[in-house]
Structure 1
Amino acid sequence: MPALASVQLFTVKDALEADLDSTLAEVARRGFTAVEPYDFVRRAEPLAAALSTHGLAALTGHAFLASESFVNPDGSGTKIPVPTPDEVFDAADTLGMGTVIDPYTEPARWQNREQVEETARLLNAAAEIAAARGLRVGYHNHAHELEAQFDGVTGLELLAQLLDPRVVLEVDLYWAARAGVDPVALLERLGDRVVAVHVKDGTLDPEAIAAYPPADQVPAGTGVVPLEDALAAASALEFAVVEFDAYAGDLFDGIEQSRRFLDERAAR
């Protein structure tokens, strides 16, 4: 069964903050039936209402579970406290969400094995709470978890070894490639742990990726990230989530083109 095509709402964050309802209406008009919300605790009820209005499901979502405070998109920390796991899971219930995925932790927390062990401990503790509520916990990578190396093993793979079997992974294929790791081989090594991927493409032009947000991202299937082979290598894939960290073109056109890439691949 093909993975469910979804879109990470961080992609259209500016539009979403300006007008939640019309943004979700446009996402639905572009052919999506599912979305992956971010920072959803503060707006769970209006978000749930708007999703229902436009026939959209939110089966996965991003919320911090292994950090005490919010982490900025560029990886820098803040002093803004995050909701508790119970608050996160209450909001997930409101949205009908089954899997809550930690979007990432600060790069400074990937410098030694003890830090990775602590992240695993926090995710495992959250998974224990989630399991009692019929929910699942996951972790999503950026580049730094893969750039970190421990005795020849990437930080993300070390984390996977330390996680409770109930904790799943969402592999961002673009950030894996940015880290110099072959996304296909990575997915083969991680096996059934990976239930979701971020279907994100780019040119990986050295100049364009020098700053955050990266300036090289393009619609799925038009860059150099081996998305099709990676999707084929994900043996337990449930969700294929379109995302742009930044995009120079029309974002809604970009996500629709990426969704068509997924539809065409699924139809083969």
Structure 2
Amino acid sequence: MTIQTSLQLFTIRERLEADLDGTLAEVAARGFTAVEPYDFVRRAETMAAAVSSAGLTAPTGHAFLASPTFVRPDGSGTTAPVPPPAAVFAAAAALGMHTVIDPYTEPARWESVDGIAEIAQLLNEAAAIGADAGMRVGYHNHAHELEAVFDGVTGLEILAERLDERVVLEVDLYWVARGGVDPVALLERLGTRVIAVHAKDGTLDPALLDAYPPADQVPAGDGVVPLREAIAAAPALELAIVEFDHYDGDLFDAITRSRVFLDAEVAR
């Protein structure tokens, strides 16, 4: 199976808000053929037109499916309600997506197996609605799903055990490593459930690991996250997605270097 390289648009969120069309044109000029939109429901038609105009596709996108309100990237909750699954899938269809991935759930919900089971149930319910719309549902991890361990099993694996077979996983390799888990061994255990990875790299410098946004992220291949080996361990992988939560240098240079690394070293 060919692995397509994509870009999570949260990476370039400030540029995107300032100039949607020009920024996506630049993404295409940097050699990308696919992107992963976030917060796309409120601007589905506009985003779809800009993605198409740039000659890009959006096979996946991030939208909340297992939370009643928006969750900030730092894990804090809000009171702003999220769109219902039917509205999410309608917007995803307008963008030509085939998979909608829940990007985040609050860390407090991972403090018990019952909390994890509730998340699984909500994702399973969303998957049933999505199936009627021809859409898959997935879940994307951060570190807290790996830091939560019950009888030696990580929270993410407990979630996977309780998911309907239609629900897939998008594993963020940087956050797995930052959560203290070997990404290669994890992907071997999760098997065909994983259809996408965030091929994100970092130095994992202990002096920087308490920071949010992360202060140690580097272009793919420049850090210590075992990207090649982890991707090779995922037999059903469809997408290797470039993402930075934060980067102090030239961001477009960093995403280009990441794409070149992934296209040359791990795409198959």
TM-score (norm 1): 0.99
Distance 1:81 1:51 in 2: 26
Counterpart contact for 2:228–2:266, Cα < 8 Å = no
The equivalent of 2:173 in structure 1 is 173
The count of residues paired between Structure 1 and Structure 2 equals 268
Q: Deviations over 1:163-182 (max 9, x none)?
A: 00000000000000000100
1:150 to partner: Cα distance: 1.2
Q: Distance between the aligned counterparts of 1:31 and 1:267, measured in 2?
A: 14
Gaps of 5+ in 1: none
Give the conservation status (yes or no) of the 8 Å contact 1:2–1:266: no
1:1-268 residue pairs with structure 2 within 5 A? 1-266=1-266
The one-letter code of the counterpart of 2:145 is: E
Judged with a 3 Å threshold, the aligned counterparts in structure 2 of structure 1 residues 223 and 128 are, in CA distance, closer, same or farther, namely same
**How far 1:104 moved relative to its partner?**
1.5
Larger deviation, residues 119-128 vs 257-266: 257-266
Partner SS state of residue 28, structure 1: helix
Amino acid at match of 1:135: M
**Equivalent residue letter for 1:201:** D
Query: What RMSD over aligned residues (CA atoms) do the two structures have, in Å?
Result: 0.9
Q: Secondary structure at the match of 1:48?
A: helix
Q: CA deviation at 1:209?
A: 2.0
* Structure 1 outlier segments of 4+, above 2 Å: none
- CA offset digits 1:19-50 (Å, max 9, x no partner): 11111011101100000000000110011001
Relative to the length of structure 2, the TM-score reads 0.99
In the alignment, is the contact (CA less than 8 A) between 1:170 and 1:197 conserved in 2? yes
Matched residue type, 2:109: R
For the 8 Å contact 2:3–2:267, the answer to whether it is kept is no
Q: Distance in 2 between matches of 1:26 and 1:143?
A: 31
3-state SS in 2 of match to 1:139: strand
Superposed CA offset, 1:92-122 (max 9, x none)? 0100000000001000100111100100000
TM-superposed deviation, 1:133: 1.0
How many angstroms does 1:267 deviate by? Answer: 6.8
Query: In 1, distance between residues paired with 2:20 and 2:267?
Result: 32
Percent of pairs with identical residues: 72
Partner Cα distance (1:100, 1:267) in 2: 22
Q: Distance in 2 between matches of 1:200 and 1:209?
A: 15
Change (3 A) 1:267 1:109: closer
